[in-house]
Amino acid sequence: MKSYRGIVRGNTVVLEQRPDLPDECPAMVQIRPLDQARDEEIAQAQLELLRKARRVGGLRYTKREELHER
C-alpha cells in the first residue's frame, strides 16, 4: 500500500502527486493529520546526514593487495 500526502479542502482531499490508480477507481482513504513542523525537522535532519555523508567513506584501497598489508 502506498501513501500519498495531500491537503483537505472541505469534503475533498487534494493529493500532491497522482496516485497509480485509474480514474473513477474505488479507493479507501485513511486520514491522519501531519505535524508539519515535525516533518520539516525530519527533512532537515535527513539533509544534514546527506551533507555529512559526502565526507564519510571514500576509496581507501586502490588495490586488493592493500587490504592484506594492513
- Provide the pLDDT for residue 60: 66
Do the domain assignments include residue 61?
Answer: yes
Global pTM value:
0.43
- Provide the pLDDT for residue 54: 58
Do the domain assignments include residue 1?
Answer: no
Q: How far apart are CA 54 and CA 33, in angstroms?
A: 34
Question: For residue range 6-56, what is the model confidence (pLDDT) as tens digits?
Answer: 888 999 889 999 988 899 999 888 887 777 777 778 888 888 887 777 565
Whole domain around residue 22: which residue ranges? 6-69
Could you tell me the three cell numbers for 7? 491537503
Do the domain assignments include residue 21?
Answer: yes
Q: How far apart are CA 13 and CA 29, in angstroms?
A: 9
> How many structural domains is the chain composed of?
1
